[in-house]
Amino acid sequence: MLLKELTELNGVSGNEDEVREFIKKEALLHATEVKVDSMGNLICYKKGKSSEYKIMLSAHMDEVGFIVTGYKDGVIKFSPIGGIDERILPGARVLVGDKKIPGVIGSKPIHLQDKEERGNNIKLKGMYIDIGADNKEELERLTSPGDYIAFYSKYTEFGDNCIKAKALDDRVGCAMLLEILKESYQFDLYACFTVQEEVGLRGAGVAAYTVNPDLAIVLEGTTCSDVPDVNEHEYSTVMGQGAVLTLMDRTSYPNKKLVEFIYNTARENNIPVQYKKTTTGGNDAGKIQLTRGGVVVASISVPCRYIHSPVSVMSKKDFESCLNLVKKVLDKLSGDASLIGSFKD
């Protein structure tokens, strides 16, 4: 499923080149046509037996990370790109710039903190990145302001079919799209690998405007909160209980008929499925839904614990549920193309 290869590539928002080139190489094996637009989106067209309808599948290539903003006393000052919980940062390993210079995120050691400081979380403005340089001049030879910084984390399989990696949001979606490109359908399929989702869903709107689809499904890695100290009624999703369908979030309101159709397809085929029980967050569906005269959208996601961190965790079983569900949904739409237009009624 290429998840190891995809998650170990670096693609902080605005710098998706490495991820795009890998995906492009894989997509060319199966797509009819592959294009890169002015934003950097990778749009892969798979011609169907009929061109009456166009279906867009979308997954974003970018990941959260950081950017070099300056230097101080031989260390790098930085700012976040995307939503990152600063509490997880001290001690994290990172790679800086195109040279992938190893570094660690540091802060004042606990031995030097006063009582008040020890009682508070360290703020990002008090952190820095140490790459082992002696002074500012050495830093300036090795890096430049504007260099991107990615988490360093190796793909690891552990436990009962679990995976730990960075960037599962949304390399899980990218991995699924590459698998789906191997299939053929009655309709024209557009597999869109988008950019800059983590900084405002910027690429998806452009891609959707270009494709002008009759229907779109976003494939995502979404929040999973089935952990200690979270009440069960506050769980967003539960790892191991299958594909996740979004009813509503901060950016989009998926088409209810399409969501119900997807849910029923899962139940008919004994595919584990669950609804997302929170309305926080958002994904590319928010911009796709508002494109041109409006697009029928839905989201199918893999639940991922510790999202937007270097140690995000998912279940292979949930990935398989999502992939199988998307394939079954597309098979049904391919078998009865009239369904595609029915969700607008």
What whole-number distance in Å separates Cα of residue 204 and Cα of residue 87?
A: 30
pLDDT of 344 reads 82
> 174: how many CB neighbours lie within 10 A of its CB?
30
Statement to judge: residues 101 and 52 lie in one domain? no
Contacts of 35 (CB under 8 A, 6+ apart): 42, 43, 45
Count of the separate structural domains present in the chain: 2
Q: Which of 66, 26, 27, 46 is nearest to 166 (CA)?
A: 66
Statement to judge: residues 117 and 46 lie in one domain? no
Residue 157 inside a domain? The answer is: no
Q: Which of 97, 201, 163, 186 is nearest to 304 (CA)?
A: 163
Statement to judge: residues 17 and 82 lie in one domain? no
3-state secondary structure of 114: coil
pTM, full prediction = 0.94
* Tokens coding 291: 């494109």
Q: Are the C-beta atoms of residues 196 and 287 closer than 8 Å to each other?
A: no
Question: In what helix (H) or strand (E) does residue 192 lie, and over which residues does it extend?
Answer: strand 188-194
Statement to judge: residues 264 and 316 lie in one domain? yes
What whole-number distance in Å separates Cα of residue 163 and Cα of residue 312?
A: 8
Statement to judge: residues 123 and 179 lie in one domain? no
pLDDT of 150 reads 98
Q: Are the C-beta atoms of residues 343 and 53 closer than 8 Å to each other?
A: no
Statement to judge: residues 94 and 10 lie in one domain? no
Beta bridge partners of 46: 189
Give the residue carrying structure tokens 């005269």: 293
> 112: how many CB neighbours lie within 10 A of its CB?
7
Question: In what helix (H) or strand (E) does residue 273 lie, and over which residues does it extend?
Answer: strand 273-275
> What string of pLDDT tens digits covers the 345 residues of the chain?
799 999 999 999 999 999 999 999 999 999 999 999 999 999 999 999 888 899 999 999 999 999 999 999 899 999 999 999 999 999 999 999 999 999 999 976 666 566 666 667 788 888 999 999 999 999 999 999 999 999 999 999 999 999 999 999 999 999 999 999 999 999 999 999 999 999 999 999 999 999 999 999 999 999 997 777 777 777 889 999 999 999 999 999 999 999 999 999 999 999 999 999 988 889 999 999 999 999 999 999 999 999 999 999 999 999 999 999 999 999 999 998 889 989 886
Statement to judge: residues 59 and 69 lie in one domain? no
Statement to judge: residues 298 and 207 lie in one domain? yes
Q: Are the C-beta atoms of residues 97 and 144 closer than 8 Å to each other?
A: yes
Q: Are the C-beta atoms of residues 147 and 97 closer than 8 Å to each other?
A: yes
pLDDT of 275 reads 95
Q: Which of 114, 14, 108 is nearest to 63 (CA)?
A: 14
Given 151, 185, 204, the domain boundary residue is 151
What whole-number distance in Å separates Cα of residue 213 and Cα of residue 215?
A: 5
Given 96, 118, 151, the domain boundary residue is 151
Residue 160 inside a domain? The answer is: no
Q: What is the CATH number of the domain that holds 138?
A: 2.40.30.40
Q: Which of 42, 58, 62, 61 is nearest to 298 (CA)?
A: 58
Statement to judge: residues 138 and 172 lie in one domain? no
106 CB burial (10 A radius; 0-12, 13-18, 19+): middle
Answer yes or no: 197 catalytic: yes
Statement to judge: residues 45 and 18 lie in one domain? yes
Q: Which of 314, 307, 336 is nearest to 242 (CA)?
A: 314
pLDDT of 227 reads 75
Contacts of 222 (CB under 8 A, 6+ apart): 169, 236, 237, 244, 246, 276, 281, 283, 299, 301, 302, 303, 304, 307
pLDDT of 280 reads 86
pLDDT of 108 reads 63
Catalytic residue, chosen from 16, 26, 197, 320, is: 197
Beta bridge partners of 80: 66
Residue 159 inside a domain? The answer is: no
Statement to judge: residues 238 and 337 lie in one domain? yes
Tell how far CA 307 is from the center of its chain.
Answer: 9
Q: What is the CATH number of the domain that holds 47?
A: 3.40.630.10
Tell me the residue range of the domain where 80 lies.
65-151
Statement to judge: residues 261 and 330 lie in one domain? yes
Q: Are the C-beta atoms of residues 176 and 321 closer than 8 Å to each other?
A: no
